[in-house]
């Protein structure tokens, strides 16, 4: 019974979304199709504001003249735009794009703009009730942005420490992802037996649900029960001189949380790079290698002068994306250190941001913080892709 109602609820919602998409497409189609007719303005002005009023009134429970007026003005602007600017051109692509971009506007662009609004105001625990009652917030200008750079988002770590930590985290992760991925891809790109089996086993860290993978790996770093320390202990038992060199079980989670997170994330991220690089390697025609063999190139010369340059175009977008993902990776750090009383030693920018918002309830501050992080990433990517394009043009 419970199952049936839940299925009904979700199917009903999907139908509602479909109806919304149909309504949107129908609305736009009428504007694309009839923009030139003499009755265009009167008809759309009569029909659509009234429809919108009926729908929104039904949802919000109020049919006011003021609301209708808003809709009518909006419709007039839209209709004029279609008549004098769009003129029925490019109907098909815009109609195809409309549903996706309406969704993005509602659930991505609007929240983004809302974050910008928040970052110029002050929403925190003490002002949230006032905001709920009056809908107004104190305007603070650029204060929040100043605070981002001057005060600490958490209880002790400052923004600059976090930034440095994030850069180290991102660089070391991406570096080892690419290195590990490359080595594995090169090994797999040989004529060997059980190739498919190896590939299957090697993508398991990527295929496992991340929550499970991270929590399981976290268990392996446990002081007494984790594999890492057990292995160290057994090694010392066998080879006692190692203990004299200072090898001993480590309090991974409390003493080296960032290192632990990095090791876990490297383990998680290598398969993706391996798969992308393997695809690139397989697309290289073997005739290049034949030619290089005839020219007398050694294995490493072939790697340096043929493999690397030819895999680069495939790797670059993946590396960019991987960098952005790693920079923004909150899962691993939050899942490893995020529980009550967790350490701050491993926090990077984005996890600090999440904690500032949802542990310390400094909403506006975290909004400003998020915008700063976004801007940094955005400029990094633009710069990166530009330089990649330039490199492509040179060739």
Partner 1 sequence: MKTKMTAAAKRRLVKSVLLHAGLLLFAAGCVYPLLRILSVSLRPGDKLVSTDLSLIPAGATLLSYSKLLGDTMFLRWLWNSLLITLATSFIGVSLASTAAYAFSRFRFPGKKAGMILLLSSQMIPAGMLILPLFLMIMKLKLMNTYLGMIIAYSVSSLPFSIWILKGYYDTIPRSLEEAALVDGTSQVGAFWRIILPLSTPALSIAFLFNFTTAWNEYLVARVVLFSSKQYTWTLGLFELQGQYITQWGMFAAGSMLVTIPVLCVFLYSSKWLISGLTLGSVKG
The residues in 65-124 that bind partner 1, with binding defined as CB under 8 A, are 90, 92-94, 96-97, 99-101, 103-104, 106-112, 114-115, 118
- CA of 118: how far to CAs of 130, 153, 364, 368, 369, in Å? 14, 16, 5, 8, 11
Query: For residue 80, how many other CB atoms are within 10 A of its CB?
Result: 12
The binder of partner 1 chosen from 27, 169, 182, 334 (CB under 8 A): 334
Q: Which CB sits closer to partner 1, 43 or 124?
A: 124
**Of how many residues is the chain composed?**
395
Q: Which CB sits closer to partner 1, 208 or 243?
A: 208
The binder of partner 1 chosen from 313, 343, 360, 388 (CB under 8 A): 313
Q: Which CB sits closer to partner 1, 53 or 371?
A: 371
Q: Which CB sits closer to partner 1, 282 or 301?
A: 282
Query: Are 357 and 366 in contact, with CB atoms under 8 Å apart?
Result: yes
Q: Which CB sits closer to partner 1, 72 or 281?
A: 281
The binder of partner 1 chosen from 152, 331, 343, 359 (CB under 8 A): 331
Query: Are 162 and 153 in contact, with CB atoms under 8 Å apart?
Result: yes
CB of 288 to partner 1, least distance (A): 17
Tell me the C-alpha distance between 246 and 271, whole Å.
Answer: 33
Tell me the C-alpha distance between 175 and 172, whole Å.
Answer: 5
Q: Which CB sits closer to partner 1, 139 or 194?
A: 194
CB of 178 to partner 1, least distance (A): 14
Is residue 332 within the footprint of partner 1 (CB under 8 A)? no
Instruction: Find, among 170, 185, 169, 168, the residue nearest to 272 by Cα.
Output: 185
Q: Which CB sits closer to partner 1, 49 or 144?
A: 144
- CA of 286: how far to CAs of 63, 64, 153, 291, 395, in Å? 71, 72, 54, 9, 21
Site for partner 1 in 3-42 (CB under 8 A): 3, 6-7, 9-10, 13-14, 17
CB of 114 to partner 1, least distance (A): 4
Query: What is the per-residue DSSP string for 200-218?
Result: HHHTHHHHS-HHHHHHHHH
Query: For residue 270, how many other CB atoms are within 10 A of its CB?
Result: 24
Tokens of 194: 């059980």
The binder of partner 1 chosen from 210, 343, 345, 359 (CB under 8 A): 210
The binder of partner 1 chosen from 200, 298, 301, 387 (CB under 8 A): 200
Tell me the C-alpha distance between 362 and 11, whole Å.
Answer: 37
Site for partner 1 in 267-306 (CB under 8 A): 267, 271, 275-276, 278-280, 283
User: Buried b vs exposed e over 116-141: b needs ≥16 C-beta within 10 Å?
Assistant: eebbbbbbeeebeeebeeeeebeebe
Is residue 366 within the footprint of partner 1 (CB under 8 A)? yes
Q: Which residues contact 229 (CB under 8 A, 6 or more apart)?
A: 221, 222, 223, 249, 250, 252
Site for partner 1 in 214-273 (CB under 8 A): 215-217, 219-220, 224-225, 227, 230-231, 233, 267, 271
Q: Which CB sits closer to partner 1, 49 or 123?
A: 123
Query: Are 235 and 247 in contact, with CB atoms under 8 Å apart?
Result: yes
Is residue 179 within the footprint of partner 1 (CB under 8 A)? no
Site for partner 1 in 139-168 (CB under 8 A): none
Segment lying near partner 1 (by CB under 8 A), choices 30-38, 46-54, 154-162, 309-317: 309-317
Site for partner 1 in 346-365 (CB under 8 A): 349-351, 353-354, 357-358, 363
Q: Which CB sits closer to partner 1, 257 or 271?
A: 271
């Amino acid at each position: 019974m419970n199952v049936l109602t839940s299925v009904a609820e979700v199917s009903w919602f999907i139908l509602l979304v479909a109806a919304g998409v149909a309504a949107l497409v129908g609305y736009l189609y009428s504007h694309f199709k009839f923009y030139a007719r003499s009755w265009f303005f009167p008809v759309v002005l009569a029909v659509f504001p009234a429809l919108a009023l009926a729908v929104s009134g039904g949802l919000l429970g109020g049919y006011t003249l003021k609301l209708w007026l808003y809709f009518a003005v909006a419709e007039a602007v839209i209709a004029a735009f279609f008549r004098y600017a769009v003129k029925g051109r490019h109907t098909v692509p815009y109609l195809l794009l409309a549903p996706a971009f309406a969704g993005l506007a509602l659930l991505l662009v609007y929240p983004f703009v809302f974050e910008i609004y928040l970052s110029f105001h002050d929403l925190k625990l003490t002002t949230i009730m006032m905001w709920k009652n009056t809908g107004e917030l104190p305007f603070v200008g650029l204060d929040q942005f100043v605070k981002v750079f001057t005060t600490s988002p958490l209880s002790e770590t400052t923004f600059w420490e976090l930034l440095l930590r994030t850069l180290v985290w991102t660089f070391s992760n991406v570096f080892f992802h690419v290195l590990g991925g490359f080595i594995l891809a090169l090994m797999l790109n040989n004529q060997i037996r059980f190739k498919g089996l190896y590939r299957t086993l090697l993508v398991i860290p990527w295929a496992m649900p991340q929550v499970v993978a991270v929590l399981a790996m976290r268990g392996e770093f446990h002081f007494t029960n984790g594999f890492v320390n057990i292995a160290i202990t057994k090694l010392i038992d066998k080879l006692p001189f190692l203990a004299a060199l200072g090898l001993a079980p480590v309090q991974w989670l409390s003493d080296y949380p960032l290192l632990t997170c990095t090791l876990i994330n490297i383990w998680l991220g290598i398969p993706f790079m391996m798969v992308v690089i393997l695809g690139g390697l397989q697309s290289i025609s073997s005739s290049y290698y034949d030619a290089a063999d005839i020219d007398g190139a050694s294995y490493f010369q072939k790697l340096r002068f043929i493999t690397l340059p030819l895999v680069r175009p495939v790797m670059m977008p993946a590396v960019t994306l991987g960098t952005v993902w790693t920079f923004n990776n909150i899962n691993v750090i939050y899942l490893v250190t995020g529980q009550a009383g967790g350490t701050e030693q491993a926090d990077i920018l984005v996890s600090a941001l999440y904690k500032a918002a949802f542990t310390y309830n400094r909403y506006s501050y975290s909004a400003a913080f998020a915008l700063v992080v976004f801007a940094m990433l955005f400029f990094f990517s633009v710069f990166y892709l530009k330089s990649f394009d330039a490199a492509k043009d040179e060739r």
